[in-house]
Structure 1
Amino acid sequence: MSGSPLSALSWRKSSLSGPRDVCCVEIAFTGAATAVRDSKNPDSDALFFDERVWNRFLLAAKTGEFGPN
């Protein structure tokens, strides 16, 4: 899928990612949505979230809604 529209996006991985890319995701901003994909399998499909949903997810993560790490 190297010619897919996803490969044209500028993907970012967390600075907290381990050296072997264990359990990491990457995000890219499309202008209309935030795309999320598995960093270990970049050729797989991505999930897309609109701004409202993405901001709600970030707030939940920052406030510990998903539990301890």
Structure 2
Amino acid sequence: MTEPQNWSKSSFSGGGEGDTCVEIALLPGRIAIRDSKAPSQGTLTIPIGSFDALIQSLKRTTV
């Protein structure tokens, strides 16, 4: 698998240093996700469609 080069963090990241969030990066057909506080600890990759479904589900449950 190719290691992503362009990580993005949500503009809603909290904390004094803005490091209490996850980061995402695009890969061909997949989204890579990692912990912004510990990026070297590992990366989770999921299909783009599954990521979209996750985000839509979170939006429905957010107050």
Task: Give TM class, smaller chain.
Answer: 0.7 to 0.9
Corresponding residue number in structure 2 for 1:15: 11
Q: Percent identity?
A: 33
- When the two chains are superposed, the root-mean-square deviation of aligned CA atoms in Å is 1.7
Gaps of 5+ in 1: none
Within 1, Cα distance between the matches of 2:48 and 2:22? 18
Q: Distance in 2 between matches of 1:62 and 1:31?
A: 25
1:13-61 CA-to-partner distances (Å, cap 9, x unmatched) read 1111123212x10000012200000000111211011022111101101
Unaligned runs of 5+ in 2: none
Q: TM-score, normalised by structure 2?
A: 0.80
Aligned residues: 60
Contact 1:13/1:25 (<8 A) preserved: yes
Q: Which runs of 4+ in 1 moved over 6 A?
A: none
- In terms of fraction of residues, the more strand-rich structure is 2
**The structure with more radius of gyration:** 1
Q: Is the 8 A contact 1:9 1:30 kept in 2?
A: no
